[in-house]
Amino acid sequence: MKLDTSIALMEKAKKMIPAGVNSPVRAYLSVGGNPPFIKEARGATITDVDGNTYIDFVASWGPMILGHAHPKVIEALKAAAERGTSYGAPTPLEVEMAEEIVSAVPSMDWVRMVSSGTEATMSALRLARGFTGRTKIVKFEGCYHGHVDSLLVKAGSGGMTFGTPDSAGIPEGLARETLIATYNDLASVEALFSQYPGEIAAVIVEPVAGNMGMIPPKEGFLEGLREVTRKDGALLIFDEVITGFRVGLSGAQGMFGIDPDMTCLGKIIGGGLPVGAFGGKAKIMEAIAPLGPVYQAGTLSGNPLAVTAGLTTLRVLKEEGIYGQLDEKGAYLAKGVKEAFDDAGIPVQSHRIGSMFCNFFTEAPVVDYESAKASDTKRFAKFFAGLLNEGVYIAPSQFETGFVSIAHTKDDLDRTIEAIGKVAKTL
C-alpha cells in the first residue's frame, strides 16, 4: 500500500496546522505511520488520495449509520443547498427536527439545536447549574464529553490515547468543581454525594461508555445513578452523542429504560454534518434564554443543511427492520472477529451493543477506565497497521469505538473477518 500523496500532504499540512491535523487522534501518534488523506467515500468504503480503498468502521466517528453518501441524504442536501446554506433565522426544518427528537426520546420534552456535541454538553451543564443553583458536577473517569473546560478532567478518547487525560489551560478553581467517579461503580458516586450533600448540580454520564473503548453499563448502574441523583435533587444528564439513534430510536435510555433529566445528542442527528442538541424536562428547559436566565446562543444552530441531512437520516432509520439489520450485522462481525482472535490464540475482550463494537487487547475483563488502560496498546498499534494494509479502516486508538453501518454487506464483513484473522496471526 502506497501513501506517497498522503505523506506529502501531511508534510505540507504540518507547516500550517498543529501536527498537520484538526483533531488530535487523526495524527496517528499512538499507532505510528502516516494517516491516509481521504478524498471520497461511498457506502461502507472510503478512498484516499493515493487510490487505496478501505472498508470503513470509523464512520466519521459514528454518524454515518446509513453509510457514506446515502442517495436520499445527498438528494435532500442538494435541494436544501439550492435554497440557501444558512439563514440565522427560524426555519420549518428546525420544527420538524424537534418533533422527530421529542417523539423518539421520551425524556426530552423540549430540545435546542447547537452545532456540536461539545456545545451540547457545555450548554447542558450550564443549564444544570443555573437551574439547581449548585456548582459541582460529577463525571466519570474515562468518559469524554467534548473539550469543555470543566469536563477535560480524567477524560477519555484522545486524552487516553496520548496519556494526558487532563489538559493545560484549565483553571484549578474550575477543575475543583468537577468531581470524579468510577464508571460502573455506584459506590464511588454515592460517596461523592455523601461528601457534598446538596452541592452537586448534575451527574453527566455516557450511558454506554464510548470513549475509553466501548464499555457497557453493569446491571443496576444506570438505575442507581437515577436513584441517587433524584434523592439529592441533582440532575442526571445522559450524554448520548454517540449512542443517540445509534443503539435504537430512543437511544441507550430507551434500551435500558432510564428516564434522565437531560440528554445531549449529536452525530447521527446531523447525518454527517456538524450538529448537536440538548434537551430535557420542560421545567428545566424553561430556564434557558430567552425564557430564563441561563444564556445560550449560536449563529449556526439549526443550520438548514445539517438539519436536512439529519432529518433524512432519522426518517430512514424509522423504516421497519433497520435496527434489526444493524444488530444482525454487528453480531455477525463480533462473532467472526472473536473466533479469529481465538484461532490465533490472542486474548481479547470483545464488547458489542447493537452496531457498536470494540476489542481490548487484554486478558482481564474491561469494566472501567483502569481496566481499559490495562490493554496492550503496542499490540493494538501493530494490529491497526496490519488491518490498514489489508484495506480495513478502524479508529487509530485502542480507546475508541467501531461502528457498523447499514451499508456494510456480508461480503464486507467476511473480508474484514478474514483480514483480522490474517493479522491476528502476526501479533
Max distance between CA atoms of the chain, in angstroms, equals 61
Give the 3-state DSSP-derived string for 288-349, with helices as H, strands as E and coil as C. ECCCCCECCCCCCCCCHHHHHHHHHHHHHHCCCCHHHHHHHHHHHHHHHHHHHHHHHCCCCE
Query: What is the spatial distance between Cα 35 and Cα 37, in angstroms, rounded to a whole number?
Result: 6
Q: 157: burial class by Cβ within 10 Å (0-12, 13-18, 19+)?
A: buried
Grid cell, residue 236, equals 442526571
For residue 18, say if its preceding peptide bond is cis, omega within 30 degrees of 0: no
Which residue is listed with cell 427536527? 97
Residues involved in catalysis: 144, 239, 267
CA triple 17-22-25, angle to 5 deg:
120
Helices (H), 30-70: none
Which residue is listed with cell 473546560? 149
